[in-house]
Amino acid sequence: HGRYLYLYRDFWVPGYVLTGVISFQQNFQAKDTEIILVTFPKSGTTWLKALVYSIVNRKIFSFDNTPLNTSNVHELVPFLELNLYLNGLNPDLSGIPSPRVFTTHVPYPSLPESIKSTTCRIVYLCRNPFDNFISLWHFLMRTRPKDLEPLSLEYCFDKFCTGTCGYGPFWDHFLGFWNESLKNPNKVLFLMYEDMKMDNKLQMKRLADFLGYPFSENEEKEGVIEKISKFCSFEGMRDLQPNNSGDKVAERFDVASYFRKGEVGDWMNYLTPSMADRLKKVVEEKLRGSGLNLKLFG
């Protein structure tokens, strides 16, 4: 049923996307030139999509004629299991121009074999779980079918802390890609939302270098990085016409609901000290010894 979570392999999948996840896993054929963006839901996927799309296409489009002005970002950089493989489809992706940029929320161990065996690159964006949770709760509330009871913050928080939410547990998600990025840094780039907020220019350079589209000295002098950064900023993206025109992602989620506040630390307006303490303990316990240090602010 679309409204339940299913334990599939070792993670929880929302029912409405289960066929999409399985079909994607079994049918997707990655090419060497592919770029796969991976995130835990509500960790800044929309932002990463806009940045990567703008970086790899910057020689083709100017800001005046970028397709981002006319199509919503989720159409240009589709979710594999949600936009393309939903309903058991095996879509013909051959018409999509190279470099193809796709997104998924599927954890590392369950990615299709072709993503692992080709030289395609994976960019992972991770967000501190406090803000990630608050963002998720707002999104669930906003997109929940109207005939269902609202979800309390406390209920959702408990599920999040025990790992029982879509694509959870979040710690397994983070660690799968973190460990892979340590083993194979040319394959997986691990980014943090908070770093992107703090020093967007530096993180964009890392991204561009990793993807094989480095910024030239001339581009740096001309302020190309700053221009892309501004164009893809929260305000810049939110105010683009196609992102607030009523378009839906997979005929389900309003594109506008992917833009809420876009800040670091909003969790402080919602979590009680004891909730923050509980989540901090979960994070510390699960990430101990991994070398992954999240800026928790808690």
74 is catalytic: no
Least CB distance to ligand A3P at residue 74 (A): 9
Stretch that binds ligand A3P, among 16-24, 86-94, 158-166, 232-240 (CB under 6 A): 232-240
Q: Classify residue 260 as exposed, middle or buried by CB count within 10 Å of its CB (0-12, 13-18, 19+).
A: middle
Q: Could you tell me the smallest distance in angstroms from the CB atom of residue 264 to ligand A3P?
A: 9
Query: Under the criterion CB under 6 A, does residue 115 sit at the interface with ligand A3P?
Result: no
Contact 5, 166 (CB under 8 A): yes
For residue 152, give the DSSP letter.
P
Q: Which of 262, 283, 292, 294 binds ligand A3P (CB under 6 A)?
A: 262
Question: Binder to ligand A3P among 23, 25, 46, 229 (CB under 6 A)?
Answer: 46
**DSSP symbols for 22-91:** HHHHHH----TT-EEEEE-TTSSHHHHHHHHHHHHTTTT--TTT-GGGTS-HHHHS-BIIIIISGGG---
217/235 with CB nearer ligand A3P: 235
Beta bridge partners of 35: 101, 121
Q: Could you tell me the smallest distance in angstroms from the CB atom of residue 136 to ligand A3P?
A: 8
Query: Does residue 201 interact with ligand A3P by CB under 6 A?
Result: no
Identify the residue among 232, 240, 282, 283 touching ligand A3P (CB under 6 A). Answer: 232
Torsion of Cα atoms, 197 then 84 then 119 then 127, to 10°: 20
Contacting residues toward ligand A3P, per CB under 6 A = 39, 41-47, 131, 135, 138, 232-234, 237, 258-262, 266
Catalytic residues: 105
